[in-house]
């Protein structure tokens, strides 16, 4: 009976410490570089989803019957179309505090996401501005895009179990697709 009580006491002392360290925003801090081999290809996934949708039913006139130009083969994949916060970001440094997450990409462009419920805004193409809401949820940073032109976009950042890789899980519900699309980008820690 004594052993059981000691084990329970140790478990009660260790679990809160593990939970607190997992929910620490600074756990994402560091420099991260895109690992193309382990990441999904968003263009290929979108095209496959589009083809699958066309096979299952004839696209409506509203969707136009074909994918947008930016998703067709041969169109520049690096075109600046920020559907999501981490679109076209191959390398970045992130610094998280309980109040904000600061992201600086390889070109030096800095963006700050507020984690207290305030909206962050960033310029997009043609003088548009895209808003983002970010929050810390358990051991992940969740970023929701506030644009109605691209449909719904949500990104979840979380670490691999060993902490050496950062995953960015992007869930999109493009207006021209009936089913949501999930793309996972994998970033390696850079020392």
Q: For residue 185, what are the β-bridge partners?
A: 168
Looking at the domain assignment, is residue 69 inside a domain?
yes
Whole-number Å distance between alpha carbons of 153 and 177: 13
Looking at the domain assignment, is residue 14 inside a domain?
no
For 17-46, the pLDDT digits (tens) are 333 334 577 789 999 999 999 999 888 888
- How many domains does the structure of the chain reveal? 1
Looking at the domain assignment, is residue 79 inside a domain?
yes
Looking at the domain assignment, is residue 4 inside a domain?
no
Question: Residue 106 is part of a domain; what is its CATH number?
Answer: 2.40.128.20
Q: CB–CB of 153/167 below 8 Å?
A: no
Coil, strand or helix at 38? coil
Q: Per the structure block, which two tokens stand in for 76?
A: 């520049």
Domain of 182? Answer: 25-190
Q: Is the pTM of this model over 0.75?
A: no
Looking at the domain assignment, is residue 3 inside a domain?
no
For 86-133, the pLDDT digits (tens) are 666 889 999 998 899 999 888 888 889 999 889 988 877 777 778 889
Beta strands per DSSP E along the chain: 30-34, 91-96, 100-105, 110-114, 120-123, 129-137, 140-146, 152-159, 165-173, 181-190
């Amino acid at each position: 009976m004594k052993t059981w009580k000691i084990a329970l006491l140790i478990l009660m002392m260790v679990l809160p410490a593990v939970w607190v360290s997992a929910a620490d925003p600074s756990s994402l801090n560091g420099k991260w570089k895109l690992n193309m081999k382990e990441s999904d290809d968003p263009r290929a996934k979108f095209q496959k989803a589009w083809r699958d949708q066309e096979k299952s039913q004839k696209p409506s006139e509203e969707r136009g019957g074909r994918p947008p130009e930016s998703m067709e083969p041969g169109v520049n994949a690096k075109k600046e179309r920020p559907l999501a916060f981490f679109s076209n970001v191959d390398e970045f440094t992130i610094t998280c505090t309980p109040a904000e997450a600061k992201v600086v990409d390889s070109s030096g462009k800095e963006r700050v996401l507020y984690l207290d419920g305030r909206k962050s805004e960033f310029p997009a193409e043609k003088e548009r501005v895209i808003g983002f809401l970010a929050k810390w949820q358990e051991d992940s940073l969740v970023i929701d895009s506030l644009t109605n032109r691209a449909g719904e976009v949500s990104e979840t950042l979380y670490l691999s179990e060993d902490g050496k890789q950062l995953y960015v899980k992007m869930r999109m519900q493009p207006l021209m697709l009936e089913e949501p699309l999930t793309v996972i980008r994998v970033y390696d820690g850079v020392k």
